[in-house]
Amino acid sequence: MLKRIWAIFTRDVKVSMRTFISLYILVVPLILAFAINLFTPGINDTTINLALLEADNPEQIAYFKSFAKVELFKDVESVQKRVEARDNIVGILPEGDKHYIMIQGNEPEGVIDYAKLINSLNELDIQVEDTNAEIIEFGKTVPPLKRTLVNGVLLLISILGGMLIAFNIVEEKADRTIRSINVTPTTRNTFILGKSLLGLVLPIFGTIATVFICGFGDVNLLQILLIVSAASLLSLLVGFIQGLSSDDIISAVSIIKLLFLPLFASVLAIELLSAKWQKFFYWSPFYWAYKGNNAVLSQTSTWQQILSYTGIVIVLCGIVYLIAAPRIRKGLE
């Protein structure tokens, strides 16, 4: 049986390499990981953007630069033009011995509040040297946004595995090789296991690569692989169902696209919504996988926590399997 599973797996690898699809799915997480490394420092450094006059007191300009990103302009009209641009930038302009705040009118409240705060501190002439605070740091270097993005990529990788299976099965159907399997000694379960292997191997590779490239090499790799593998089960299931019930690639793509919905919904729910809204997302395996990955990436996870999250993901996948099993069986006949 193992030999047959291996044979199906190696055949899938060969076919996928021929169409470069496996290569793409291997490479995509790496590119995303490098992209995350490239632009998260810039995002993390962001507070607000200010437009100031070049002619303003150099000390004032330096003061504002200590708290925000500053752009300098020749005159008030240029500042106004810049403030009216589509992004969120606030003008702070001198008038008499004070500065007033110029806004476009559609900036988020937080941006205006921050501008008001630093202008108030400026008016009160409070300098960084006047500090009455001591700052002690824990020495963590990975910002939460990077953790969120890496976590998102890990879940995306799990979906890519399912996508690969769906594409492979649609291709098999087009080549009429699925029916031929029925007249060989390969059992249905062996075929399913053999087909699933590629969809599991790629996420495992992608996860390890992403975790190391993004600087999370010291996390508990076993815990993260456990969660990503459990989340991949759902993608594999959907990949199977879709591959078997689709006659063409378009249908396969569109169903896989549906998987992105619970993924994005889960990430947004955890990151943006308050506790009372969380229960609306308990049905999503990605919700639990994201929570688990988050705990591992922030190095606050315990085995009990990870095993319970993985258990929930597996139970939810089991429910999907029970619903989908007749369709998979029928598709293989």
Within 226-255, the residues that bind other proteins by CB under 8 A are 246, 248-251, 253-255
Cβ atoms within 10 Å, residue 184: 10
Euclidean distance between CA atoms 227 and 291, whole angstroms: 10
92 Cβ partners below 8 Å, 6+ apart? 50, 51, 52, 64, 99, 100, 101, 102, 115, 119
Minimum CB distance to other proteins, residue 109 (Å): 8
> What is the token pair recorded at 158?
């799990």
Minimum CB distance to other proteins, residue 2 (Å): 28
Which residue in the set 100, 177, 184, 217 belongs to the binding site for other proteins (CB under 8 A)?
100
Stretch of residues binding other proteins (CB under 8 A), selected from 77-85, 183-191, 201-209, 306-314: 77-85
Can residue 298 be called a binding residue for other proteins (CB under 8 A)? Answer: yes
Which residue in the set 3, 77, 106, 322 belongs to the binding site for other proteins (CB under 8 A)?
106
Q: Are 229 and 200 in contact (CB under 8 A)?
A: yes
Torsion of Cα atoms, 297 then 278 then 286 then 216, to 10°: -10
Minimum CB distance to other proteins smaller for 230 or for 288: 288
- In the region spanning residues 139 to 168, those forming contacts with other proteins, defined by CB under 8 A, are 139-144, 167
- In the region spanning residues 7 to 26, those forming contacts with other proteins, defined by CB under 8 A, are 19-21, 23-24
Q: Could you tell me if residue 20 is left (phi over 0), alpha (psi between -120 and 50 degrees) or otherwise beta?
A: left
Q: Are 113 and 101 in contact (CB under 8 A)?
A: no
Can residue 97 be called a binding residue for other proteins (CB under 8 A)? Answer: no
Minimum CB distance to other proteins, residue 1 (Å): 29
Minimum CB distance to other proteins, residue 208 (Å): 20
Can residue 62 be called a binding residue for other proteins (CB under 8 A)? Answer: no
Minimum CB distance to other proteins smaller for 232 or for 266: 266
Minimum CB distance to other proteins smaller for 271 or for 314: 271
Site mask, other proteins, residues 113-132, x = CB under 8 A? ---xxxxxx-xx-xxx-xxx
Can residue 174 be called a binding residue for other proteins (CB under 8 A)? Answer: yes
Euclidean distance between CA atoms 103 and 88, whole angstroms: 9
Stretch of residues binding other proteins (CB under 8 A), selected from 104-112, 196-204, 215-223, 305-313: 104-112
Which residue in the set 13, 72, 111, 181 belongs to the binding site for other proteins (CB under 8 A)?
111
Euclidean distance between CA atoms 112 and 142, whole angstroms: 27
69 Cβ partners below 8 Å, 6+ apart? 45, 46, 47, 48, 49, 50
Minimum CB distance to other proteins, residue 277 (Å): 6
Which residue in the set 1, 10, 34, 46 belongs to the binding site for other proteins (CB under 8 A)?
46
Which residue in the set 14, 34, 47, 54 belongs to the binding site for other proteins (CB under 8 A)?
47
Which residue in the set 84, 177, 188, 217 belongs to the binding site for other proteins (CB under 8 A)?
84
Cβ atoms within 10 Å, residue 186: 17
Which residue in the set 77, 97, 134, 333 belongs to the binding site for other proteins (CB under 8 A)?
134
Can residue 30 be called a binding residue for other proteins (CB under 8 A)? Answer: no
Minimum CB distance to other proteins smaller for 81 or for 188: 81
246 burial (CB, 10 Å; 0-12 / 13-18 / 19+) is buried
Euclidean distance between CA atoms 122 and 97, whole angstroms: 11
Nearest to 205 by CA among 229, 223, 231: 229
